[in-house]
Structure 1
Amino acid sequence: MHPIDPFEQNQAGSRSSDHSTESLLTERTIGRHRTPARRWRGAALVTSAPFRVALATGVCCCLGVTAFAVSRPDAEGTDRAVREALVDRAAEVDRRASRDLERSALPDPLSPSPTLSPSPTVSTVPSPTKPAAKPKPKATPKPKPTTPPRPRPVAGLSQRQMDNAKVIVDVGADLKMPRRAMVVAVATAMQESNLHNLASDVLPESHSYTNQGSGSDHDSVGLFQQRPSSGWGTVRELMQPAHAARLFYEALREVPGWENLSITGAAQAVQISAYPDAYAQHEQRATTVVSALT
């Protein structure tokens, strides 16, 4: 009788065990025990060595694929990510420069500088040229009033006498008086004051006005020696040659038919002098003076 080999004994035991397990699984595949039988069969599959080897191989493949995908990223995605990071960094630098005074901080020299695309050229349309403003015409300066030349003395008169004679003639022209009236007025002034604007020693007030000497014939003043006490006017008025001449012409107008009177008669009708014939001696000289001034 051969001794029993332990290895064969174990093999026999395994076959009997497998046979019993298979019988048990076969029995549970029918009736109400189909679901437990399937679970047991799946558990046996999971615990088997081939399954574990396949599972380990699959896990290794997945890890390799993942590692490859991580280590070899898509080039286009990388460029997009880099561009976005650079744009964000440039925007941050611009924001820092615009909100503080520190302009010396520069980007890290080790980091790549962003490549800025050239900005589109903006075409500037020239604005229409405004027409040049017309120069304003310069205002013509008004001529300064010039003093009329003083009349040249005639008939043996001085310049002062000739100036006073001109005042008498100019007032007569303003009043539209005829030339004969001007001769009567100049001849009267020659007799009364010798064509000088005189003050009066009797009236101290008369010396406070412009004068060319003084007389002592009562209160008579001015070119025509008119008396304030006789109602001719105030001392101030009678010391003004132009006003005194106007008073004489107005009084001459009131003499009826004065145009037909002689020079002496017309002058006496106005002045009522104590020497009525004295005016006649001045008629020729007065005529010469009026002719030179008109």
Structure 2
Amino acid sequence: MSMVPPSLLCLGLCLSQSTWAQKGNLPPPRITALPGSTVPAKSHVTLLCQGPKQAEGYRISRVGSPEPMDKEEQITSRKTNALSIAEMTSGKTGLYHCSYQRGGRWSQFSDPLQLVMTGAYDKPSLSSMAGTVVSPGEKVKLQCVSKINHDVFILTKEDGDHVTQNQSSVPHDGGRQTIFLLNPVSSTQAGTFRCYGAFRDNPYVWSQPSDPLQLQVEAPTAWHPSVETQVRLSLAALLLLVMVVLLAEAWCSQGGPSVKSDEPPPQWTDKRR
């Protein structure tokens, strides 16, 4: 097998990277929201597009929109571009992505960021049908209920940005409900949960969050009897010992079990012979 000269190998790699860049296949940046992507109505939020140090400019746009929301602000020489939304409204919700410019070319789009506005409807209620302290491996059902006829309910964990489940609702007592299943539950699922209600025709506008539900996942503790229980167990053991002694004495006083001999009975001999 012939060896490829290092110079040709380097040339090949350079041409490959150049071709990759010319096709616009620069690695995608990362888009985040501060303080979070689940934003109360009329609150402030900032979108950040983070790319490599060599980036020459950035732009942020809503998925489905061909142009950036603000060209002058989006295409800049800053390494990390920020889009500031002073007051969150339903018209600014949706999926956002961003890209960066390098060498006159634009990178791939980042993964989409779901920007949600909360507080549009009254809050639902969230409860655990197995209690708030459960054991690992247990089947846990979280029930989200609302008097409003929401099409879907969303379960989030901790800071409200981590969507755990999104499920359709069913009728319940004049309103709607859904059951979120955690099966089997593990220690990593412990934390603070909330649920929201929404409608399919406006999926990024949610209700107020439910009151927080703190779920604890704890292994069963070893059984430690109380002092009173220990005394009772000791008395029971002593009584059992006394009964055994009495039974043994009664058995011995009766001579114990009869012993049967396997030897044949003695034979009588005639002494007159």
Q: State the TM-score, normalizing by the size of structure 2.
A: 0.19
Question: Which structure is richer in relative contact order (CA contacts within 8 A, separation 6 or more)?
Answer: 2
Q: Whose Rg is larger?
A: 1
What TM-score, normalized by structure 1, do the two folds share?
Answer: 0.18
Return the structure number with greater helix share: 1
